[in-house]
Amino acid sequence: MRMRKLGNSGLFVSELCFGAMTFGGTDGLWGQVGRLEQEDADALVEAALGAGINLFDTANVYANGRSEEILGQCLRNLNVAREDVVIATKAAASMGQGPNRQGTSRRHILGECRASLARLGVDHVDLYQIHAFDPATPIEETLEALDTLVRAGDVRYVGLSNWAAWQIMKAIGIARAHQLAPITSLQAYYTLVGRDVERDIVPLLASEQVGLMVWSPLAGGYLSGKYSGGGTGEGGRQTELDFPPIDRVRGAPLIEVLNTIAEKHGCRPAQIAIAWLLKQPVVSTVIIGAKPTSPRFQ
């Protein structure tokens, strides 16, 4: 497993990141995303560690906090030294009733970081990310709250997720002007069937040396090829949850090309799709998720 710098920081992360969004779901949305409990999660995290992955990504909202709890317990069950892993989590989504239980206000960010630390069972997270843009809160307030967490030692680096290019650049400018903790990374959707980020965001990240963490690199399993040719993709996410949305008319010819290339190289279409992402200079890491029925990492 190759290691890459996360943006312009001195932090090295594995080029594949294990995403824990499938941990702990029961009913509703998170039940559709994944229902992995502790035993299965332990097995998957052990496989990821064995493959050389050192970066693990979750969020406070995943399964209403259960993902963080299960991930933290995995690392303890496997006797993983805290220094050997990079833990990333996020905040911004609603975590309860009322206007102050969501967003990126100073109150919400500081409180949710401490809650995430407790669920994970650690004294700090390596990367704390703002999960979505909050138009109700000044960016200055959000960045100052993140800087407070860094100075307190609760957080090592800060990042963004799912922000527009102008929002990212504004945050970078404010952080520099006020000498706040810099923006190290961005999480964004980027696949062979979803390349919108190449228009504005990729050039911005390259210019400002911000690392890109790619989520849903297989477009919810679509690029594995299991939905093509009339396949139902039984057990796949897209059978229960149409996310991310895909233009299947344009995607079908691409799947054929992926299948041809994969056959030529003796591998799977999914591996080709991820390899393509890893060739993009702005990409620091690609987030992969798995279920017990998924093939082992190769």
CA 105 – CA 146 distance, rounded (Å): 10
Q: Which of 216, 213, 211, 210 is nearest to 191 (CA)?
A: 216
CA 56 – CA 272 distance, rounded (Å): 22
**Residues designated catalytic:** 62
Residues 193-199: contacts with CB under 8 Å, at least 24 apart:
193/219, 193/222, 193/223, 193/246, 193/247, 193/250, 193/251, 193/254, 194/219, 194/244, 194/246
Strands (E), the chain: 3-5, 12-14, 16-19, 55-57, 86-91, 125-130, 155-161, 183-189, 211-215, 283-288
Q: Which of 144, 204, 130 is nearest to 175 (CA)?
A: 144
